[in-house]
Amino acid sequence: MYANEEFLIELLMESGNLTSADIEAARPHKKAQETIIETLLKSGKLSEDAVAKQLAISSGMDFIDLSKIEVDASVAAAIDVDVALRYKVVPVGFNGTNLYIAVSDPLDFDTLDSLRHVIQYEPEFVCSTQTQIKQCMMDIYSGELSAEQLRELSTGKVSVAGGDDSGGGGIGVGDGSSEGDAPIIRLVHQILQEAYQNRASDIHIEPLENELQIRYRIDGALHKIASHPRRLMSAVVSRIKIMTGSMSIAEKRLPQDGRIQASMGDRDLDLRVSTVPTSNGESVVMRILDKQSLMLGLPQLGFLSDDQETFDQLIRLPDGILLVTGPTGSGKTTTLYACLNTINKSDRKIITVEDPVEYLMSGINQVQVKEDVGMTFAAALRAILRQAPNIIMIGEIRDLETASIAINASLTGHLVFSTLHTNDAPSAVARLADIGVKRFLIASAVRAITAQRLVRFNCPDCIGPAVLSDKDIRSLKLDASQLADAEIKAGTGCRTCRNTGYKGRKGIFEILQIDQEVSHLINRNDSTPKLRSRARELGMRTLREDGVRKVLSGLTTASEVVRVTMGDSD
């Protein structure tokens, strides 16, 4: 009820409002869940006015009788009803640019400090009784309170906006929120739970001019799910920051990053949180990282049988560099983790260098890059080579120093996995050369380069036979022999796939193996188009050609393959 009851009792005894005899007389009547102050208030031995006035004097605040104050509507709008309920306070007037706020416990310094961060005005606190504050809430927010909230206020319950705000970076979402949870807490939990149930990979919470927009990225496409009053923005963002346990709710001018560990049913998820200040307020994006996806094997990535066999042989090589390329969001990290999961055995030491560490994997040593303290990719690589690993994963090769260390490691008996941002596999050779790696080293160290994209697969609940249009046939350059044995299928749209016809995403792949012939082309400094042309003659299948195979197998649609391989029309 009060933040520091022992100190309050001392104040009341010093002021003559209480005696030790009053306290001893109240103890036999004290219920299990009550405090001594609550028992004394209920018995009439102590008045709320006396408590509030003594707290005001000790805190240097003014005491205010709210029954004699009429709060203007513009003043009431200065604090959202959810914030008022959560902190049990009411706004009572303006003093220039400052806002007078009535509180019942000036000793609750956490509440006072939090209010300074969640309202848009500089607060000036005054003291009143809890009963008067609750009555004032009912008067000024009556049109915004639910029946349950009105009932709690009118019956005198003190926990009108319960819930745990301690943060710490962990939440439980799967069982829902209790009736006592604050509205903002329930709203945030609902957003997270709905995102999980809809298989979202990202949650976008975006302040617009007149609303707070909620969008989920599902199978790579953004869907607007809901909109809320814009006045909820500050409270929602503050709640998310508190849940990370590391982000500051006071800092709204700079970008911030954090993590939340969430339990949804029997699944453990990591949420990577990013906030960016915009002209309308802070935009929040939460990336949902499902730990169960660590158990993916190569078949779950989308490889067809022949490519799966080739790739499985590559990841079991004793040394060399295996590169995975593609734009941001093409599933490169998931592929690397699946590779490590496949070859993670007790007789091999595996170390990764990542920025950030997206998933924690059992049995693997993972190093987080921290450039602000000098822990760069290159610095981390130099250090881990002294740890005698068998296998190294580098989150991304970004510069010559990192590339040089990776190549040296591969040439001295280590198997190295890494990623590059290039559009196709042959372009990775030119990219490495551009950052300064000598071509003879590329030819000697790199064993294979895999380019990939993610395509949406047909929904298994509404899949059915389909027909390719003439435009699709021309786009994919299909001939009669290919269409003869094809099983063309598409999803018609249903509830489980949100009427899109697609459910889940898997990869299409382009695997360039660096054999003796390709090494010769690299050493000869052939251009990327020539390297690509020769690699295709030697058996490399392009991204679009792999996509065509999946269209003809009924796994995805022609429009989906064309969409993600627009630059691969050859």
Which pLDDT tens digit goes with each residue over 507-520? 999 999 999 999 99
428 and 325 Cβ atoms separated by less than 8 Å: yes
Q: Check residues 170 and 563 and name the one with the higher pLDDT.
A: 563
- Helix crossing, 5-14 with 36-43: angle to 10°? 50
Q: Give the least confident one: 42-46, 166-170, 528-532.
A: 166-170
How confident is the model over 140-161, as a mean pLDDT? 61
Per-residue CA distances from 444 to 315, 438, 448, 538 (Å): 17, 10, 11, 19
Give the Cα separation of 320 and 337 in Å (integer). Answer: 18
- Given a cut of 80, is residue 229 above it in pLDDT? yes
Mean pLDDT of the chain: 86
**pLDDT > 70: what percent of the chain?**
91
| Sign of the CA dihedral with 188 first, then 281, 118, and 269 last | positive
Question: Which residue in the block uniquely carries the two structure tokens 């709204």?
Answer: 252
| CA pseudo-torsion sign 125, 127, 131, 135 | negative
Q: What is the pLDDT of residue 197?
A: 85
Q: Does position 163 have pLDDT exceeding 80, yes or no?
A: no
Rounded Cα–Cα distance for residues 315 and 393 (Å): 12
SS3 label, residue 483: helix
pLDDT value of position 175: 39
The confidence score (pLDDT) of residue 228 equals 85
| Tokens matching residue 521 | 């082309």
Tell me the C-alpha distance between 43 and 41, whole Å.
6
pLDDT higher than threshold 90 for residue 318: yes
Look at residue 176 in the predicted model and tell me its pLDDT. 40
Full strand arrangement of the beta sheet holding 122-127: 90-95, 98-103, 122-127
- Give the separation between CA 336 and CA 416, rounded to whole angstroms: 11
373: DSSP letter: G
What count of other Cβ atoms lies within 10 Å of the Cβ of residue 77?
12
Q: Does the pLDDT at position 162 exceed 50?
A: no
Specify the amino acid at residue 250.
Answer: A
Query: Rounded to whole angstroms, how far apart are CA atoms 103 and 88?
Result: 7
- What CA–CA distance (Å, rounded) separates 562 from 541? 16
Give me the mean pLDDT over the 396-419 stretch. Answer: 94
Residue 324 pLDDT exceeds 60: yes
Cα separations (Å) of 484 from 363, 378, 487, 555, 567?
48, 53, 9, 17, 27
The rounded percent of the chain whose pLDDT value lies above 90 is 46
The CA distance from 89 to 360, in Å, is: 42
Which has the higher per-residue pLDDT, 204 or 44? Answer: 204
Max avg pLDDT among 20-34, 173-187, 200-214: 200-214
> Rounded to an integer, what distance in angstroms lies between the CA atom of residue 92 and that of residue 120?
15
pLDDT reading at 212 higher than 60: yes
Q: What confidence score (pLDDT) does residue 166 get? A: 34
* Residue 515 to residue 208: CA distance in whole angstroms: 54
Across-strand partners of 320?
A: 415
Side chain identity at residue 385, one-letter code: L
CA atoms within 13 A on the CB side of 86: 25
pTM of the full predicted structure?
0.65
pLDDT band, very low/low/confident/very high, at 174 (cuts 50, 70, 90): very low
On the question of a cis peptide bond just before residue 356, with omega within 30 degrees of 0, the verdict is: yes
Residues 380/392, Cβ–Cβ less than 8 Å:
no
Yes or no: say if 286 and 271 are a contact pair by the CB < 8 Å rule. Answer: yes
pLDDT computed for residue 73 by the predictor: 83
C-alpha 70/C-alpha 66 separation (Å) is 8
pLDDT given for residue 15 in this prediction: 86
Q: For residue 378, is pLDDT > 70?
A: yes
> For the chain, how many helices (H) and strands (E)?
24, 19
* Three-class DSSP category at 8: helix
CA distances from 481 to 425, 487, 561, 569 (A): 28, 13, 20, 20
Residue (of 108, 94, 103) closest to 64 by Cα position: 103
Please give the residue that has the higher pLDDT: either 183 or 126: 126
pLDDT over 60 at 387, yes or no: yes
Rounded Cα distance between 323 and 449, Å, is 5
Secondary structure class of 562 (helix, strand, coil): helix
Beta bridge partner(s), residue 350: 391
What is the pLDDT at residue 544? 94
pLDDT number for residue 488: 94
As a whole number of angstroms, the distance between CA 430 and CA 532 comes to 11
Closest CA to 189 of 158, 220, 217, 165: 165
Given a cut of 50, is residue 179 above it in pLDDT? no
Q: What is the pLDDT of residue 67?
A: 87
Burial of 528 (0-12, 13-18, 19+ CB in 10 A): middle
CA distance 483 to 480: 5
Convert the pLDDT of each residue in 485-496 to its tens digit: 889 999 999 988
Least confident of 83-92, 163-172, 424-433: 163-172
Residue 541 CB partners (closer than 8 Å, separation 6+): 307, 510, 511, 549
CA–CA distance, 473 with 492 (Å, rounded to integer): 20
**Over 50: is that where the pLDDT of 90 sits?**
yes
Tokens of 116: 């300074």
Contact call for residues 280 and 207 (beta carbons, < 8 A): yes
Residue 173 has pLDDT above 50, yes or no: no
| β-bridge partners, 211 | 229
The pLDDT value given to residue 11: 84
Structure tokens at 106: 């000036």
Output phi, psi for 414, to 5 deg: -110, 145
CA-CA distance, 155 to 39, in Å (whole number)? Answer: 17
Distance CA 86, CA 181 (A): 9
Q: What is the pLDDT of residue 523?
A: 93
What is the rounded radius of gyration, in angstroms, for the C-alpha atoms of the chain? 31
Nearest CA-CA partner of 86 in 60, 58, 115: 115
Assign 152 a pLDDT band (cuts: 50, 70, 90).
low
Stretch 409-436: mean pLDDT? 94
Q: Give the three-class secondary structure for 5.
A: helix
Quick: pLDDT tens for 234-288.
888 988 998 888 888 888 889 999 988 887 766 778 889 999 999 999 999 999 8
**Average confidence (pLDDT) over 425-453:** 95
